[in-house]
């Protein structure tokens, strides 16, 4: 009797342990679709910047009107985030680049027509990264004029320009912007220009009289100019300065700031750290369990702006420049040499379009959709891939991705002037320069024809009043789209109700086994 009792008890315990472990190690559905927190912070910040765009296309500055400095930084923020500036359009149909083109000469020159090298370098950085013509932008040759301001005897980019608080005289700040602008435009920077900055570094490793913003910009500029590398003593001294001045919160601020942390300083220092090849979220940059990235993210306001007491578009743009984690070091105008078009047909007779710029030679169709800035919901099956459930509110939630079948989001590629139903899922579909993808809500019908020229080059088009309502006979929905849809939903959605039901069934089975065991034990003892 006792032996039989212990055998049954061992079996029951083992069964209970196995079932419990299977519940514990079950992967949590939907976690693969949760974006990193900084991505949401960035997207909200970009949304705020767009809300601060004036009718002329410029981003509002401290004065409450369009400002070339803030707009140039905003262009950098959008591009480093992988978002095309062509999609940021004002109520009057103007982009940030449209505004900068109208202000190029007045922003970069004083009233006598003399160039401000620092301002020209900032504008050149934005124009170069946007893929615009740097030698013919806003009726001026940014490269030629900036190069002409170089003083061979001192190694400085300097002029006699003077207007308000702005000066063209030699300074760490002017030099850094000039070096960065020319580097991003793919222009060679004279050794003497870098040497000017190296020699002006203070003993504590800083520039600009221990100004954190200027120091971060100089580090980024020197590394972008190529001959200077992260292991050079000049860069290491600057990194030591950042370590020495890092706040307990994980961020930084200039000496004059009364706020606990400064978004501009922290954003640019993160950019400098990334440019130097280090991880700003790593252990070496973590203080009291907080790192610079976490510190900067904590500054976001409900409206999406990022900053302290006086959060504004300027501080938000600088913060995003750091939060993207994309290094300006070594990047030139090839950042936007690649573009692809995206068309989204929500089934109501309208179309969303986006011309997306990217630095990689190849991205995926899913990358293209994500970088378009459209709001999407997805469900991911680890063995099947990612299914798109909703775009801009049209479709289904991720916990029931194909709730409206036969209507779903079908994925199409523009091949030989025709739409081809993709044979693979969007996360496995390659996209290269000049490609066009489309997403169409419906029963798998092909969308209206729209080309790369329509989307990225401004060639006008008109949507037809009727669209073909049947898929060509040769098209068979691949498992990664319609057929895979049901599989994706059952394994990747949050699906708390389903998990709860499964748990109840398992625990119910355990109770029944226990009840049977007790009943058997009582009967055995009675005998």
292-342 pLDDT per residue, tens: 999 999 999 999 999 999 999 999 999 999 999 888 875 643 444 678 999
In this structure, what token pair is assigned to residue 369? 């959709």
Q: Which residues pair with 395 in a beta bridge?
A: 390
In this structure, what token pair is assigned to residue 116? 């401000």
**383: part of which helix (H) or strand (E)?**
none
CATH number of 33-323: 1.50.10.20
Q: Is 413 helix (H, G, I), strand (E, B) or coil?
A: strand
Crossing angle (nearest 10°) for helices 172-184 and 191-199: 150
Ranges in the chain, pLDDT < 70 = 1-36, 330-337, 359, 382-384, 464-527
Task: Single out the residue of 308, 192, 335 nearest to residue 254, CA to CA.
Answer: 308
CA angle 340, 344, 348 (to 5 degrees): 160
Instruction: Give the C-alpha distances (Å, rounded to integers) separating 59 from 65, 76, 162, 268, 323.
Output: 8, 13, 24, 19, 20
C-alpha 185: how far from its chain's center? 22
CA angle 62, 68, 71 (to 5 degrees): 80
Other beta carbons within 10 angstroms of residue 243's beta carbon come to 12
Longest dimension (CA), the chain: 113
Burial of 183 (0-12, 13-18, 19+ CB in 10 A): buried
Domain boundaries, the chain: 1-29+495-527, 33-323, 339-491
Beta strands in 160-313 (DSSP E): 162-163, 166-167
pLDDT given for residue 298 in this prediction: 96
Beta strands in 79-209 (DSSP E): 150-151, 156-157, 162-163, 166-167
Beta strands in 290-435 (DSSP E): 338-345, 352-358, 363-364, 376-381, 385-391, 394-395, 408-415, 418-421, 430-431
Q: Cα–Cα distance between 80 and 336 in angstroms, integer?
A: 10
CB under 8 Å to 21, separation ≥6 — which residues?
none
Q: Name the fold adopted by 339-491.
A: Ferric Hydroxamate Uptake Protein; Chain A, domain 1 (2.170.130)
Q: Cα–Cα distance between 65 and 500 in angstroms, integer?
A: 55
pLDDT given for residue 106 in this prediction: 97
pLDDT given for residue 86 in this prediction: 87
| Model pLDDT for residues 153-180, shown as the tens digit of each residue | 999 999 999 999 999 999 999 999 999 9
pLDDT given for residue 203 in this prediction: 97
Q: Which residue has the tokens 């030698």?
A: 135
Torsion of CA 301, 305, 308, 310, to 10 degrees: -120
C-alpha 213: how far from its chain's center? 22
Other beta carbons within 10 angstroms of residue 383's beta carbon come to 9
CB under 8 Å to 211, separation ≥6 — which residues?
254
Burial of 309 (0-12, 13-18, 19+ CB in 10 A): exposed
Q: Which residues pair with 410 in a beta bridge?
A: 440
Task: Single out the residue of 267, 239, 275 nearest to residue 323, CA to CA.
Answer: 267
Q: Cα–Cα distance between 332 and 328 in angstroms, integer?
A: 8
Other beta carbons within 10 angstroms of residue 272's beta carbon come to 30
Same fold, 33-323 and 339-491: no
pLDDT given for residue 360 in this prediction: 73
In this structure, what token pair is assigned to residue 203? 């003993």
- Relative to beta strand 166-167, strand 156-157 is unpaired
Q: Which residue has the tokens 């910009």?
A: 217
Q: Is the pTM of this model over 0.75?
A: no
For residues 389 and 441, is the Cβ–Cβ distance under 8 A? no
CB under 8 Å to 70, separation ≥6 — which residues?
58, 59, 60, 61, 62, 313, 314, 317
Q: Cα–Cα distance between 69 and 82 in angstroms, integer?
A: 20
Q: Cα–Cα distance between 269 and 241 in angstroms, integer?
A: 11
């Amino acid at each position: 009797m006792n032996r039989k009792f212990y055998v049954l008890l061992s079996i029951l315990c083992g069964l209970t342990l196995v079932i419990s472990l299977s519940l514990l190690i079950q992967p949590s559905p939907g976690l693969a679709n949760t974006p990193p927190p900084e991505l949401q912070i960035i997207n909200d910040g970009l949304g705020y910047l767009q809300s601060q765009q004036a009718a002329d296309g410029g981003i509002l500055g401290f004065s409450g009107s369009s400002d070339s400095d803030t707009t140039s930084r905003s262009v950098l923020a959008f591009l480093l985030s992988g978002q095309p500036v062509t999609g940021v359009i004002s109520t009057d149909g103007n982009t940030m680049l449209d505004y900068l083109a109208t202000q190029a000469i007045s922003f970069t020159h004083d009233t006598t027509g003399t160039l401000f090298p620092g301002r020209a370098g900032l504008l050149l950085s934005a124009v170069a990264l946007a893929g615009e013509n740097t030698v013919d932008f806003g009726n001026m040759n940014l490269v030629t004029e900036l190069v002409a301001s170089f003083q061979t005897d001192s190694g400085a980019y300097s002029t006699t320009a003077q207007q308000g608080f702005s000066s063209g005289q030699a300074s760490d700040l002017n030099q850094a912007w000039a070096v960065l602008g020319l580097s991003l435009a793919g222009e060679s920077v004279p050794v003497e220009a870098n040497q000017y900055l190296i020699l002006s570094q203070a003993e504590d490793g800083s520039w600009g009289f221990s100004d954190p913003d200027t120091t971060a910009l100089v580090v980024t500029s020197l590394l972008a100019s190529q001959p200077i590398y992260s292991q050079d003593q000049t860069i290491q001294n600057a990194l030591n300065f950042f370590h020495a001045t890092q706040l307990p919160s994980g961020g930084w601020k200039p000496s004059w700031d009364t706020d606990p942390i400064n978004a501009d300083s922290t954003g640019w220092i993160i950019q400098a750290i990334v440019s130097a090849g280090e991880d700003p979220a790593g252990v070496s940059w973590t203080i009291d369990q907080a790192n610079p990235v976490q510190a900067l993210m904590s500054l976001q306001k409900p409206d999406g702006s990022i900053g302290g007491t006086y959060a504004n578009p300027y501080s938000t743009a600088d913060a995003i420049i750091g939060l993207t984690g994309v290094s300006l070091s070594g990047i030139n105008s090839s950042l936007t040499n690649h573009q692809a078009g995206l068309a989204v047909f929500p089934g109501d007779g309208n179309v969303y379009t986006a011309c997306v710029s990217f630095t990689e030679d190849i991205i995926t169709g899913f990358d293209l959709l994500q970088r378009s800035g459209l709001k999407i919901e997805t469900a991911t099956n680890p063995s099947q891939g990612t299914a798109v459930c909703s775009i801009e509110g049209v479709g289904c939630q991720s916990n029931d991705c194909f709730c409206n079948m036969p209507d779903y989001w079908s994925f199409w590629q523009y091949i030989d002037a025709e739409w081809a139903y993709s044979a693979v899922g969007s996360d496995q579909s390659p996209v290269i320069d000049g490609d066009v993808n489309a997403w169409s809500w419906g029963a798998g019908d092909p969308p209206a024809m729209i080309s790369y020229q329509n989307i990225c080059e401004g060639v006008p088009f008109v949507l037809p009043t009727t669209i073909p309502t049947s898929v060509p006979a040769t098209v068979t929905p691949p498992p990664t789209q319609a057929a895979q849809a049901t599989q994706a939903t059952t394994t990747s959605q949050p699906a708390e109700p389903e998990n709860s039901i499964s748990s109840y069934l398992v625990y119910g089975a355990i109770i029944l086994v226990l009840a049977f065991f007790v009943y058997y034990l009582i009967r055995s003892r009675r005998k």
